[in-house]
Chains A and B, each alone.
Chain A
């Protein structure tokens, strides 16, 4: 059973517009959430994170929103640029999973295409 779900396999957005990538989770023990970005033939790179004690974290063009009651988070990219075209992975971790307390559980990813 997928504990982290990214239900949109792909998303296309015009350059300059907002990109919104969504992520849902089922494990209420998750307390830290991260977004990773992946280009072809490269490993994922960390983009932005949020702790469960916050509902928003902003870093330049990237903002992550967390709705704990809905077990939902989203990544907003404004304005979107062609260089943002990549696969975006949502990941979650828990401080309470014992030996796996630093284990990241990833979603399947959303491929973002920003059209010039």
Chain B
């Protein structure tokens, strides 16, 4: 079974430029997450989708970040314009949430490492 796919793996841009990251979750997974991981830190949730609905975007800086999951499958995270402080790894994860709170395994993709110069 294919895992979570993310592209690109690495991206270098100059500040004030736009950038977009793409994620394809594990087939059949209804919930998709975007995380930000700064160097030396753990992942921090940016946004969570249940199917095509963003059910938790409280941590997404909406002035410059946007995300979409139009058909409830793959998703795109965009930054416009990028700032120096946006340099980080952007992780996508997915899970199959069937209402059973006892099991909440999230499967992570390899991430996109963004460097803003």
Instruction: List residues of A whose CB falls within 8 A of some B CB.
Output: 4, 9, 32, 34, 36, 41-46, 49, 51, 89, 91, 93, 95, 99-104, 106-109
Contacts and interface: CB of A to CB of B under 8 A. Distances in A.
Contacts of B91: 43-44
B42 A91 contact: yes
Interface range on chain B (Cβ under 8 Å from partner): 20 to 34
B58 A100 contact: yes
List 4 A-B pairs, minimum CB-CB distance, nearest first: A106-B42, A43-B108, A99-B56, A46-B105
B42 A89 contact: yes
A22 to B, nearest CB: 15
A102 B31 contact: yes
B110 A42 contact: yes
Interface of B: 4, 31, 40-45, 48, 55-56, 58, 91, 93, 95, 97, 101-111
Contacts of B111: 43
B44 A106 contact: yes
Contacts of A34: 104-105
A103 B106 contact: no
5 contacts: A9-B40, A36-B108, A99-B56, A100-B58, A106-B43
Contact of A102 (B104, B109, B110): B104
A100 B108 contact: no
A36 B97 CA distance: 18
Given A9-B40, A99-B58, A102-B48, 13 more contacts: A32-B101, A43-B91, A43-B110, A44-B43, A46-B107, A51-B102, A91-B42, A99-B55, A101-B101, A103-B48, A106-B44, A107-B42, A109-B41
